[in-house]
Amino acid sequence: SQKIEQNSEALNIQEGKTATLTCNYTNYSPAYLQWYRQDPGRGPVFLLLIRENEKEKRKERLKVTFDTTLKQSLFHITASQPADSATYLCALDARANRLAFGKGNQVVVIP
Amino acid sequence: EAGVTQSPTHLIKTRGQQATLRCSPISGHTSVYWYQQALGLGLQFLLWYDEGEERNRGNFPPRFSGRQFPNYSSELNVNALELEDSALYLCASSLAFTQTKNIQYFGAGTRLSVL
């Protein structure tokens, strides 16, 4: 069956350090992968998109990698700040114009 | 530019009733998506509308239905409400797929509580 796995345990990290989140998938062949941020009581907000032929994408303090052999994406927040505290969702191209979302991984940045 | 707007913010219903949720997409966006986010389950895809037509639906029973109007706004209807329908319902909109690889812009959601 198809699965998207993100760590269910919150990541607690000291301000200024790099937070790294993992998204693993099974039985998908995504042409692209996206990362979203969701704050409590709000809808997800798009952060980054990476295509299957791209190894790495950066935007300001964010970096995403995509390894189609390992079926994994890593999401990094460098120099983390308390304002980065949120839940981060990975979303895969599930074909037929659908996105399949992971359950999300909460990040707590400690001042 | 206004974002995706959803109404109402909260909705309280009892079992067996019907709920109607509304969504206005970002101006210029023709695609509207509906998701259910129940506690601990993540976003589950419900429906996709584009240019007034239902293009795809997720693994939900037929009592979940909707439509898209000529102005691209959309309605989600849930009939014969059950307790497990309690969730945050999120609407998202996007430009044509070929332009943006399905980057979706979400509203703040409607919190549906079924008592």
CB contact under 8 A, B42 and A89: yes
Assigned token pair, B106? 């979400």
Mean pLDDT across chain B: 93
pLDDT score recorded for residue A98: 84
pLDDT score recorded for residue A107: 98
3-state secondary structure A26-52: ECCCCCEEEEEEECCCCCCEEEEEEEC
pLDDT score recorded for residue A95: 79
State whether residue A76 is helix, strand or coil: strand
Give the pLDDT mean for B62-85: 97
Stretch among A41-45, A66-70, A99-103, B98-102 having the lowest mean pLDDT: B98-102
pLDDT score recorded for residue B42: 86
| B108: chain A residues, CB-CB within 8 Å | 41-43
Nearest to B103 among A42, A49, A101 (CB): A49
Mean pLDDT across chain A: 94
Give the pLDDT mean for A68-79: 96
CB contact under 8 A, A102 and B92: no
